[in-house]
Amino acid sequence: MKIALMNEFSQAGKNPAVLNELQAVAAEQGHEVFNVGMDGDNDHHLTYIHLGVMASLLLNSKAVDFVVSGCGTGQGALMSLNAYPGVFCGYCIDPADAYLFAQINNGNALALPFAKGFGWGAELNVRYIFEKAFTGVKGQGYPPERKESQVRNAGILSQVKVATGKDYLEGLKALDQELVKTAVTGPRFQACFFEYAQDQALVDYVRSVLDA
């Protein structure tokens, strides 16, 4: 599994600590991690709005399989990511959230609070969240006897998101293109996206935004 980690400006200073925990868990499971957001206060400036654009491009192009995002409360990142087709982001404050989201909702992104409640022992909580999110088989239901209905509902939600939203690429083109350009300008994002993206139309679009 390819996992992208993205931090925005308000919590950029915590990126190294979060990345360390994610890489440790990913290494145990054979996953690959891409640090595509800010890795410090002086890095390419991103807000949680930009994280939504970035996550949607990485997931819809199949450049990565999962995105870990967040902001001060985690709520802004949650809303921003869920604004896009193909992105199913859960809010996660503890390992139980991560486990239940993986088994019941089987989404492809998490939003964590990196300021609110992020105190003593926070790195342990983050590590245990990642262990529950990325260990074992997802979508097994909880409790197990409810798996059938939970899988069915997750599929219905996916259909609802497609039916009520614009075509993804047309939606991107309807945004302020300077906002999109800021989101895709980071070199680590570009390295991940252009090497692994499997949707040529999205690749061409991102290149056109960068060349504009």
Phi, psi of 71 (to 5 degrees): -155, -160
DSSP the chain: -EEEE---GGGGGGHHHHHHHHHHHHHHHT-EEEE-S-SSTTSSP--HHHHHHHHHHHHHTTS-SEEEEEESSSHHHHHHHHTSTT--EEE-SSHHHHHHIIIII--SEEEEESSTT--TTHHHHHHHHHHHHHSS-S---SSGGGHHHHHHHHHHHHHHHHHHS--HHHHHHHS-HHHHHHHH--HHHHHHHHHH---HHHHHHHHHHHH-
Q: Are strands 89-91 and 32-35 parallel, antiparallel or unpaired?
A: unpaired
CATH class name, domain 2-211: alpha beta
Task: Give the pLDDT score at 188.
Answer: 97
Distance CA 33, CA 190 (A): 14
Task: Give the pLDDT score at 42.
Answer: 87
Low-confidence stretches of the chain (pLDDT beneath 50): none
Domain locations along the chain: 2-211
Distance CA 208, CA 155 (A): 33
pTM of the model: 0.95
Task: Give the pLDDT score at 127.
Answer: 97
Task: Give the pLDDT score at 139.
Answer: 93
Task: Give the pLDDT score at 162.
Answer: 87
